[in-house]
A and B are shown apart, each in its own frame.
Chain A
Amino acid sequence: MIPRLTLGVAERGRVDHAAHETLHGPLGETRHRGRGLLEELERAGLRGRGGAGFPTAAKLAAVRAGKGARSLVVNAAEGEPMSAKDAFLLESAPHLVLDGALLAAEVAGASTLLVAVPEDARAAARSLAAALAERPDTQEIETALVPARFIAGEESALLRYLGGGPLRPRLTPPWPAERGLGGKPTLVQNPETLAQLALVARHGASWFRAVGPDVRPGSTLVTVSGAVRRPGVYEIDPRTEVPVVLGLAGGTLEPTRAVLIGGYFGAWLDGAAALGARLDPAALAPLGAALGAGVLVVLGESACPVAELSRAVWWLAGESAGQCGPCVHGLAAIADALVALAEGRADAAAAERIAAWTSLVERRGACRHPDGVARHVRSGLRVFATELEDHRLHGPCAACSAPPVLAAPVPEAALA
């Protein structure tokens, strides 16, 4: 555990404004601000923590170069069912996020500040409201509750919704940094990114880079769940070996069949491969995985990977925004075929057909939803090939009806 973002959280639970100023120093005494902060962020190499890993300084510079009434939106609408880190941050260290938002708005020249919180994240919204009341410098910051949907995390969909439109992505470019809220340049940042920015502003780039690999410097928040003793959010160095990270979560409860890394847009790794890996990009890329928004889900030997995979993909297909044909129809076809496989109703070519369809849907949506799902499916087909064939031949196994490890909320349509 590296206490940077989480400094004081273990002792206090929630770091209020007074404690925040004691632990991190007042915002007014921050070393790097404005243009200086932009340069420091470039040196720090901070990348977005919402999953895409876009360089934060580049985004800030783009909005700074823009004209007109610019906005900053704090995107706490995680959407990712297995991630809890942004809600955790708002609940535990809200003032780092608010400091980051104020500092980033200053750099970007943004005059409107909005925090978008999913409507089911009640504790996060309560803590945020309390934090805004605890300090005098956040009167400009408004809070917006947004639907707790997967697509709400997608920048352009979120901005359309906040602008009074539907919660659906639009075609990019132009990027939000060019045309966002009210048609003006808008900086959309994840809460963890802004909290890290607040630390870079205080301690500088060298301090920031002392933790983490060169390609993804800094500490990172991970959400660990599944077959571990203490599921939760932990702050780690991405260079840490996976077993050490699982150790922070109290260790595994049973032998590990596989680990889902990066969440629903992530990839499954075979248990042995996962337990031998570190979480930095250089170690994960050859395995076809990426840390994304920092999700690790441990699937124990007692769970059924086929049931987990088909359920997750079926849920993801339903989370399509419903705009692009290949996403709507392709993901539905993939999900249906996986469910048929899991139930022993598929022919011998089913897995091959699913693999072909995943390639067909990739890069054919307005947003990256089909690409994320394709990555998840492809890794599942690879890692669970034996179990998939077994289900195809013999139908559901004893573990199929066990409680889900991947907590995909069941849409109403499935209950009928």
Chain B
Amino acid sequence: MSRRLVVDPIACTGHGLCAELFPEGVELDPWGYPLLAAEVPDGHLGHARRAASACPALALRLVRAERVAAASAETAGAPRRG
């Protein structure tokens, strides 16, 4: 079952621990916030899990990839303003 990391952008405060613990799957943008790889390879699941549980803001989660696909299909399209 393929997995990926998702971040709650409201909770995330840019500590950057995730990028230190799992550099293969997390990159930081110029402002210190995580850019997440599309998928976590099976061999890296341990690192990904560690990164998620170490997040001081509890903003990072490891989820099944297809759940994310379903959620982002719903949010696709123009900015939602009523």
Give residues in A with beta carbon < 8 Å to B.
48, 50-54, 75, 77, 79-80, 153-155, 158, 170-173, 175, 188-190, 265, 290, 292-293, 323-327, 329-330, 333, 357, 360, 363-369, 371-372
Contacts and interface: CB of A to CB of B under 8 A. Distances in A.
Contacts of B82: 48, 50-52, 75, 77, 153-155, 158, 188-190
A327 B33 CA distance: 10
Given A155-B80, A189-B82, A367-B79, A360 B12 contact: no
B81 A79 contact: yes
A172 B8 CA distance: 10
B33 A52 contact: no
* Among B14, B30, B75, B78: residue with most chain A CB under 10 A: B78
A51 B81 contact: yes
A365 B75 CA distance: 12
* Among A79, A173, A324: residue with most chain B CB under 10 A: A324
A412 B50 CA distance: 45
B11 to A, nearest CB: 9
Given A48-B82, A79-B81, A173-B71, 17 more contacts: A51-B81, A75-B81, A75-B82, A158-B82, A190-B82, A265-B79, A293-B81, A323-B9, A325-B9, A329-B33, A330-B31, A364-B33, A365-B9, A367-B80, A368-B80, A368-B81, A371-B79
A355 to B, nearest CB: 14
A52 B31 contact: no
Interface in B1-31: 8-10, 12-14, 29-31
Interface of B: 8-10, 12-14, 29-33, 35, 71-72, 74-75, 77-82
Nearest to B14: A325
A324 B77 contact: no
Contacts of B13: 325
B70 to A, nearest CB: 10
A190 B80 CA distance: 11
A170 B29 contact: no
Contacts of B78: 51-53, 265, 290, 292, 368, 372
* Among A48, A364, A365: residue with most chain B CB under 10 A: A364
A54 B82 CA distance: 9
Contacts of B10: 170-171, 323-324, 366
A291 to B, nearest CB: 10
A368 B8 contact: no
A38 B55 CA distance: 46
B9 A324 contact: yes
Nearest to A264: B79
B33 to A, nearest CB: 4
A171 B77 CA distance: 16
A115 to B, nearest CB: 12
Nearest to A116: B82
23 contacts: A50-B82, A52-B82, A53-B78, A75-B82, A77-B82, A153-B81, A158-B82, A171-B9, A175-B74, A323-B9, A324-B10, A325-B32, A326-B9, A326-B29, A326-B31, A330-B29, A330-B31, A364-B33, A366-B10, A367-B80, A368-B80, A371-B79, A372-B78
Query: What 7 A-B pairs have minimum CB-CB distances, sorted nearest first?
Result: A368-B79, A75-B82, A50-B82, A329-B31, A324-B9, A325-B33, A153-B81
A74 to B, nearest CB: 9
A330 B31 CA distance: 7
B26 to A, nearest CB: 13
A77 to B, nearest CB: 8
B80 A54 contact: yes
A52 B9 contact: no
A158 B77 CA distance: 20
Nearest to A153: B81
Nearest to A158: B82
Given A51-B79, A189-B82, A368-B80, A357 B30 contact: yes
Contacts of B30: 333, 357, 360
A324 B31 CA distance: 11
A219 B80 CA distance: 21
Contacts of B79: 51-52, 154, 265, 367-369, 371-372
B33 A172 contact: no
A325 B28 CA distance: 11
Contacts of A75: 81-82
A334 B13 CA distance: 20
Contacts of A265: 78-79, 81
Contacts of B12: 324-325
B18 to A, nearest CB: 13
